A and B are shown apart, each in its own frame.
Chain A
Amino acid sequence: MMVEWLIDNWLKMAVPMVVFLASYIVGLWVRRVVSNAFERWTSRVRWQGSQLVMTTVHRPFLFWFLILGVFIAIQVSVVTPQVKGVTTKAMGTLFVLSLGWLVINLCGQLLEIYLPRLKVRWPTITLAKNVTSATIVVVCALIILEIWGMPTSPLLVLIAVGILAAALALRNAAPNLFAGLQLGAAQQIKVGDYIKLETGEQGYVTEITWNNTRIKALDESIIIVPNNRLLQFTVVNYGHPLKKAKEPFRFHSRTYIKELTGLKAKNLRELVDTLKKVPDSVVYYHTHHFLEEHHYLIPEPSNDFAVWVNDVLGEEVLGERLASVNTFEFPSLGILRERIIVIIEEHLAGGSNSREAIPGREFRFMKSVSLVISTPYVANDLREFVEALRKISLGSLYFHVFESRLRLGRGLNDFTIWLQGSLKEADLGEEIARTDPYTYTLEGLRSTFIQLIEKRIK
């Protein structure tokens, strides 16, 4: 039966199959011709995406001819009109799906090539790919519904509602997204730049996402600035990071309270005898407290011994000698104390010890008790260092310059030690070490250091 049926209808069977095979062969041929032509064209225009297009289109191209072959074969066959209609719609659907798949792939890969050139970050690229894919899927769905003669209005309404909901949800994010694209395109702010906002926030840019920019502040906290706000602010951009230190500089600060020893001297002999036995912290106090208490008034400080000898005892010559002791020249408090003792004893050796302070104006020996605290400020390079230097308290500046060198016995100020040791900035460290801090007000000293560092950065 079967054989008889095939003998009777072989022509009806053969024609569609021949048509299908012909379509396949034509497809192979057309693909080769088109491929060659495309390659010739891309070799002229040197388009980076050519290989991508070729790879992506290669397989679907033949698939489309197979679909065409099936479609024509069905049309020339003797099947019923209903079957032809269903097959046509099915072929149309397959074509639309394959085309949609190809466009999604192609767009995704092209976005991956071109968006990074605009310095768009990965989260934004992913978002753009997703939006493109979703749009294509929706368009394909609409076309397929149209092919099958189904109503598209409900879907269109659903899409409109979805778009509206998305617009409402993203009404704040949208300006940030566009601002992020603008930041990426304009290249005015990049990851790694040190920026300072007009509102005071500053630090290195660590990340620019589709909606905000992250900044690592001087206290190592992360500041998140919406991209839209970033475009509205006046921003100073200092550019890329500078040489990093082996160890960060952690700023400390020092406050102090005055402790009374109960010891007093009413003449030079008592002064020098007591000075020999008091702890170093007493010597430190009487040669340094003026720096903080009267720094606004007289930049050149004078030690308490000189002031008392001059103002209370009226020993002007000795007062001048004591005032001329340059604290900056002494590497330790012990040597400084010895120098002051020698000067007073030389004076006493000349037979002058008759003057006494009136009651209530005796020299009172005091010391400072320092409390050292960590501040949040940390510097990894010169830019962070100089910006922190602008922000730290005068107590912090005082601690790293005066207290560390002499009272803590480090021999050099902390800034120089860090610049030379951790940052290998030997010359800058030397310049700062050479600056005599006793000849400046504390604010003046801060300005001087800032100028030296800014000059080095430039």
Chain B
Amino acid sequence: MGHSTLEELRLIAARLSGKVIQNINSTFTGGGVAEILSRMLPLLEQLGVDARWNTIKGSPEFFQVTKKFHNSLHGRREDISAADFALFLEVSQQNIRKMELYGDIIFVHDPQPVTMVSRKKEIGRKWIWRCHIDVSQPNEKVWSFLEPFIFQYDAAVFSAPSFSHQLPIRQFLISPSIDPLSDKNKELSQQTIDSVLEKYAIPKDKPIITQISRFDYLKDPVGVIQAFEMVRKSIDCRLVFAGGTASDDPESEKVLAEVKEKAEGNPDIHILLIPPESDVEINALQRASTVIVQKSHREGFGLTVTEALWKAKPVVASAVGGITLQIKNKSTGLLSYGIEGTAYAIRQLLTNPEYARWLGQNGREHVRYNFLITRHLQDYLLLFLALEHPEDIIYL
């Protein structure tokens, strides 16, 4: 970041002096939201902005319901009963009663705490709903259920243009970001990378194709294995599928079991369950990869794609959600729409290393200018300021 850019960030942050930003989500660990908040808050603090973070409480049953909401909003079919909605509202009411709302700007992340806005009439303040998931084709039943709450906010924030809806409130586009200095993205020595490969018994004898993601149907892990098997018919290579679980996702154990079963008996497929605090290991696996894949059915933004691009790796990813903001097809990576398309794109990259390198370099530059945490930080500051100004050009 240039000196002048930092100066400008400070000037903008100074305008928020005295305001408290209260973030509310469902978990302190696991998943992209927790990761972004844990990086973002210290930076906001360094700029003199008082940003704090609270989480709602809920039973495992509550989080099973919110997981269903999550899948439904992504467009997946889910069997959501009236009892599920009732449970959601009941636990939400408990959180609404218990949580202290002290922020001047209350920044609610994702659907789990969306009902907190019910207290707006009572306490006022500015309310923002930050939707991190792909709601481009949501289940109408769940979306209609959430809409009355969403409409009460002052603004909604989405990660991709296609997630926006015709709403009576202002909507902003803010892409998530990565921290280039974090364990997950910092430079690593070859020795570290080799030691991680050794730990997980991954030989370096063949090109490595990797997908890093949670064990989640929406990430299509089985589809990744199928695409890999198609590639392997003509090119000898390995597949690494590595991921973890989040405390608000009770479904991941089941998906992991299915994936392991599908990969059973193939020594070139490495299914790795990575614990939550294994950022250096994720980093090493990405850096050791020849091609990185993100074959999601739905994707909020796809930070794993951002991480791969930042490491100048050639990426093959589905043209869904925020991935299309990151991958300009054939310029910063390759977009695919199905299993065959994914296999074809991987083959192209494995057989044309110069092309793969060119795409990787472009991808890194794209991330440098658009998806690093400094840009994200600036967007949040501007969002908080824009709430006070309805005009298109704001003179500070």
From B6-14, B19-27, B201-209, give the one contacting chain A. Answer: B6-14
Counting CB contacts under 8 A, is B174 at the interface?
yes
Contact residue among B161, B164, B396 (Cβ-Cβ distance under 8 Å from A372): B396
CB–CB B393/A408 < 8 A? yes
CB–CB A296/B386 < 8 A? no
Set of chain B residues within 8 Å of A369, measured between Cβ atoms: 382, 386, 389, 391-394
Set of chain A residues within 8 Å of B393, measured between Cβ atoms: 369-370, 372, 407-408
User: Which residues of B from 221 to 245 have beta carbons under 8 Å from A?
Assistant: none
Set of chain A residues within 8 Å of B320, measured between Cβ atoms: 360
How distant is the Cα of A296 from the Cα of B164 in the complex, in angstroms? Answer: 28
- How many residues of A are counted as interface, with CB atoms below 8 angstroms from the partner's CB atoms? 42
Set of chain A residues within 8 Å of B385, measured between Cβ atoms: 371
How distant is the Cα of A407 from the Cα of B393 in the complex, in angstroms? Answer: 9
- Given the known inter-chain contacts A257-B379, A294-B328, A294-B366, please indicate yes or no for A393 contacting B12, CB distance below 8 A: no
CB–CB A258/B4 < 8 A? no
- Chain B binding site: helix, strand, loop or mixed by DSSP? mixed
Set of chain B residues within 8 Å of A352, measured between Cβ atoms: none
| Most chain B C-beta atoms within 10 Å of own C-beta, residue among A279, A293, A294 | A294
CB–CB A256/B366 < 8 A? no
- How many residues of B are counted as interface, with CB atoms below 8 angstroms from the partner's CB atoms? 48
CB–CB B366/A255 < 8 A? no
Contact residue among B170, B369, B389, B396 (Cβ-Cβ distance under 8 Å from A296): B369
CB–CB B171/A373 < 8 A? no
- Given the known inter-chain contacts A257-B382, A260-B164, A369-B386, please indicate yes or no for A293 contacting B8, CB distance below 8 A: no
Counting CB contacts under 8 A, is A263 at the interface?
yes
Set of chain B residues within 8 Å of A371, measured between Cβ atoms: 12, 382, 385-386, 394, 396
How distant is the Cα of A372 from the Cα of B391 in the complex, in angstroms? Answer: 12
Counting CB contacts under 8 A, is B152 at the interface?
no
B167 CB to closest chain A CB (Å) equals: 6
CB–CB A376/B8 < 8 A? no
How distant is the Cα of A366 from the Cα of B366 in the complex, in angstroms? Answer: 20
Contact residue among B137, B331, B378 (Cβ-Cβ distance under 8 Å from A297): B331
CB–CB B8/A395 < 8 A? yes
Counting CB contacts under 8 A, is A391 at the interface?
yes
How distant is the Cα of A368 from the Cα of B366 in the complex, in angstroms? Answer: 20
User: Which residues of B from 324 to 338 have beta carbons under 8 Å from A?
Assistant: 324, 328-329, 331-332
Set of chain B residues within 8 Å of A374, measured between Cβ atoms: 11, 396
User: Which residues of A from 222 to 266 have beta carbons under 8 Å from B?
Assistant: 253, 255-263
Set of chain A residues within 8 Å of B158, measured between Cβ atoms: 260
Counting CB contacts under 8 A, is B166 at the interface?
yes
CB–CB B172/A257 < 8 A? yes
How distant is the Cα of A293 from the Cα of B391 in the complex, in angstroms? Answer: 23
Counting CB contacts under 8 A, is B139 at the interface?
no
Set of chain B residues within 8 Å of A368, measured between Cβ atoms: 392
Counting CB contacts under 8 A, is B5 at the interface?
yes
| Most chain A C-beta atoms within 10 Å of own C-beta, residue among B8, B329, B332, B382 | B8
CB–CB A253/B8 < 8 A? yes
- Given the known inter-chain contacts A260-B173, A262-B171, A293-B369, please indicate yes or no for A370 contacting B7, CB distance below 8 A: no
Set of chain A residues within 8 Å of B332, measured between Cβ atoms: 297
Contact residue among B2, B5, B164 (Cβ-Cβ distance under 8 Å from A262): B164
How distant is the Cα of A371 from the Cα of B394 in the complex, in angstroms? Answer: 5
- Given the known inter-chain contacts A371-B396, A375-B4, please indicate yes or no for A364 contacting B164, CB distance below 8 A: yes
Task: Please give the residue numbers on chain B whose beta carbons come within 8 Å of chain A beta carbons, in ascending order.
Answer: 2-5, 7-8, 11-12, 136-137, 158, 161-162, 164-167, 170-174, 319-320, 324, 328-329, 331-332, 362, 365-366, 368-370, 378-379, 382-383, 385-386, 389, 391-396
Contacts A/B (CB < 8 Å), 19 sampled: A253-B8, A257-B172, A259-B170, A279-B392, A292-B369, A295-B369, A296-B366, A297-B332, A297-B365, A366-B161, A369-B389, A369-B394, A370-B394, A371-B382, A373-B8, A373-B12, A375-B7, A375-B8, A375-B11
Ordered nearest first, which 8 A-B pairs have the shortest CB separation?
A: A364-B161, A260-B164, A393-B4, A258-B173, A260-B171, A262-B166, A257-B382, A281-B392
Supply 13 further A-B pairs (C-beta < 8 A) apart from A259-B172, A375-B8: A255-B8, A256-B382, A257-B173, A259-B171, A260-B171, A262-B165, A262-B171, A360-B320, A361-B319, A366-B161, A371-B394, A372-B396, A393-B5
